[in-house]
Structure 1
Amino acid sequence: MEYLIWTGALISVAGIAGLLWCIVYVMKLRKSGLDDNAMRARMQKAVLINFAALAVSTLGLMMVVLGVFLA
């Protein structure tokens, strides 16, 4: 079950990378000085990607835990 642990770890890292991308994206948005409507539309995209990255990271962590239990 070692492959399950390493695959889960890679998936978790991909999810964390997505979370970091969201942080950088929102920081750039805040500095851009857009009006409220444009900012709101772009923030909705960031929130969607943030939730997806969180789900991917959680899935990877579940795979790691499952691999540890089965090992």
Structure 2
Amino acid sequence: MDILIYAGVALTLSGVALLIYCIVQAAKAKKQGGTDEDIRARLQRVIALNLVALMISAIGLGAVTIGAILS
């Protein structure tokens, strides 16, 4: 079950890295300015990526939990 734990850790860390990327992109979109519609369009793309990152992190944490229980 060690493989499941290590795979879960890798998924969780990649999800967290993607979340950090989303934070940076959202801050950059707000800093660049523009009209409200421009900012809203940029942030909508980041929101979709943010949800994917949260799902990846959740799957990774679930894998770690299951691997720890089965060990």
Shorter chain as denominator, the TM-score bin is over 0.9
Q: Which runs of 4+ in 1 moved over 4 A?
A: none
Q: Which amino acid aligns with 1:21?
A: Y
Q: TM-score, with normalisation over the residues of structure 2?
A: 0.97
**Structure 1, unaligned stretches of length 5 or more?**
none
Q: Percent identity?
A: 38
Residues matched between the structures, number: 71
Map Cα deviations across residues 4-42 of structure 1 (whole Å, 9 max, x no partner).
000000000000001000000011111101211111111
Alpha-carbon distance between aligned partners in 2 of 1:4 and 1:32, rounded to the nearest angstrom? 42
Q: Which amino acid aligns with 2:35?
A: D
Answering whether residue 7 of structure 2 is matched by residue 7 of structure 1, we say yes
Alpha-carbon distance between aligned partners in 2 of 1:40 and 1:30, rounded to the nearest angstrom? 9
Partner in structure 2 of residue 21 of structure 1: 21
Cα RMSD after superposing both structures: 0.5
